[in-house]
Amino acid sequence: MVGKDELERGHILVVDDELGLRTAYVRILTAAGFEVDSCESAEGVLERLRRGERYLVIVTDLIMTGMDGVDLLPAIRQFDTDVPVIILTGRPSLRSSIAAVEHRSFRYLIKPVTPQVLSETVRAAAAMYRLATLKRRALEVCENAGWRTEAGSLEELFDNALEELFMVYQPIVPTGGGTFGFEALVRTTQPAFRSPDALFAAAERLGRVQELGRAIRLRVSDQIVNAPCDSLLFVNLHASDLTDPELYSAESAMSRFASRIVLEVTERKSLDGVTEMPKRLNELRKLGYRIAVDDLGAGYAGLSCFSVLEPEIVKLDMSLIRDIDTQPRKRALVESMIRVCQRDLGMQVVCEGVETLGEREVLLELEPALLQGYLFARPQRGFCEPSALVLHSEQRLIAATDIDSAASA
């Protein structure tokens, strides 16, 4: 990782086997205020990285003698998963552009590149790397202060968390009553990872997200036999899970129950690093899985994620549902989203985070297909039935305070 002083200075590596171009790029970036190193080959880059040298940004030519820029990208990622790589080429191709996306290059620039464009692109890339580094530091200081304790290293704590992993389930209910399905939510008794977000942050840092995803799916597969036979199970997927071959195997434990599984993909995470998404989704649907978009309305992916996934089910984020009974603007927005999803696109809608009787009453008027939240039940280890107090229309006059007390009991 780049140190504090290097973050402030801004160290850039320029790679090009043409001396004239390499010299020109170094001159441009030096004039822009960066400290710049250079080398003439991809092999030279890897040698520097092996020696422990790190950079804010790597600017590399695509076509070079020996290893080219396409092969250099994945090699760099073995040493630094975050460093922005800017590709320069006078001969763009489909192969190189796909590789650039797959291995997360920051920009793919077509020559000739003006000094202004090069400087601005490098400056933006450097800022992104600084931010990524600072976020990692903040994670260590704040959320995960307990990762390094007397119990051992992060890796040891994560191993313990996997051994102590368990699932809890929260019911998803139709507006007319009953139980449609359950969302499976991961938990662990390891104190360092009381928050699922902290658990996944550790998995990402260790490069063990797929291992965590497999452990979750195995536990769901073992427990689905205890769920009501006509109910579905909603299982969350991390973006990295979508590149795990085990997910697509007909022999995997969960694939045996695919017709009862809804795979939730959140809008909060980017899918940019997942290639061949239509093909992957088609394979999952052939196995029998259904796809849901989670946190709709809270993600930065906008319509790109939604249009690629073409989900059968969408889950409106709880931030849209919170206090909907006292905020007319939210009510109008949610009403429009339900109408478009259900009527125009033929998708089922789940409204998440329903906590009060007032919120439920408004949603009943807007007629989404399904509801989920503490008002009905908190996540539990077993497959609990939702509270009878809030399922039937004759109970609508019960005071919201009574309902909240019942839900939190």
> Is residue 148 situated within a structural domain?
no
> Is residue 279 situated within a structural domain?
yes
Domain span holding position 111 = 4-141
Closest by CA to 237, choosing from 190, 174, 280, is 280
CA atoms within 13 A of residue 317's CA, in its CB half-sphere? 14
Q: Are residues 97 and 180 in the same domain?
A: no
CB atoms within 10 A of CB 202: 24
pLDDT tens string 344-387: 888 999 999 999 999 999 999 999 999 999 999 999 998 988 86
CB atoms within 10 A of CB 214: 19
Q: Are residues 183 and 119 in the same domain?
A: no
Q: What is the pLDDT of residue 77?
A: 81
Q: What is the pLDDT of residue 294?
A: 87
Q: What is the pLDDT of residue 349?
A: 94
The mean per-residue pLDDT over the stretch 395-401 comes to 37
CATH code, domain with 351? 3.20.20.450
**Buried b / exposed e along 276-295 (16+ C-beta atoms within 10 A):** eeeeebeebeebebbbbbbb
87: helix, coil or strand? strand
> Percentage of residues in the chain with pLDDT exceeding 90?
49
> Is residue 287 situated within a structural domain?
yes
Q: Are residues 281 and 256 in the same domain?
A: yes
90/137: higher pLDDT: 90
Closest by CA to 273, choosing from 82, 80, 59, is 82
Which token pair is 328? Answer: 């007319």
CB atoms within 10 A of CB 167: 19
Reported residue count of the chain is 409
Q: Are residues 284 and 327 in the same domain?
A: yes
The mean per-residue pLDDT over the stretch 198-212 comes to 91
Task: Give the C-alpha separation, 75 to 98, whole Å.
Answer: 16
Q: Which of 141, 167, 190 is the last residue of a domain?
A: 141
Could you check whether the bond before residue 112 is cis, i.e. omega within 30 degrees of 0?
A: yes
Q: Are residues 162 and 106 in the same domain?
A: no
Angle at 213 between CA 211 and CA 219, to 5 degrees: 105
> Domains in the chain: how many in total?
2
**Amino acid residing at 5:** D
Q: Are residues 132 and 54 in the same domain?
A: yes
pLDDT tens string 77-100: 888 877 889 999 888 777 777 767
88: helix, coil or strand? strand
Q: Are residues 199 and 276 in the same domain?
A: yes
Burial class (CB in 10 A: 0-12, 13-18, 19+), 17: middle
Q: Are residues 183 and 57 in the same domain?
A: no
> Is residue 147 situated within a structural domain?
no
Regarding pTM above 0.75, the answer is no
pLDDT tens string 291-327: 998 877 655 444 556 667 889 999 988 888 999 999 9
> Is residue 149 situated within a structural domain?
no
pLDDT tens string 259-281: 999 999 876 566 767 888 889 99
pLDDT tens string 1-18: 444 444 445 589 999 999
> Is residue 11 situated within a structural domain?
yes
> Is residue 146 situated within a structural domain?
no
Q: Are residues 114 and 181 in the same domain?
A: no
Q: Are residues 337 and 277 in the same domain?
A: yes
Q: Are residues 119 and 170 in the same domain?
A: no
pLDDT confidence bin for 188, thresholds 50/70/90: very high
What 27-31 contacts at long range (C-beta under 8 Å, 24+ apart), as own/partner pairs, is 28/115, 28/118, 28/119, 29/59, 29/118, 29/119, 29/122, 31/115, 31/119
Is the separation of the CB atoms in 160 and 189 below 8 Å?
no
Listed in sequence order, the residues at least 6 apart from 279 whose beta carbon sits closer than 8 Å to its beta carbon are none
pLDDT tens string 17-76: 999 999 999 999 999 989 999 999 999 999 999 998 889 899 999 888 888 877 888 888
> Is residue 264 situated within a structural domain?
yes
Q: Are residues 219 and 346 in the same domain?
A: yes
Listed in sequence order, the residues at least 6 apart from 248 whose beta carbon sits closer than 8 Å to its beta carbon are 280, 283, 284, 287
Q: What is the pLDDT of residue 381?
A: 92
Q: What is the pLDDT of residue 90?
A: 85
Partner residues linked to 318 by β-bridges: none
Mean pLDDT of the chain: 83
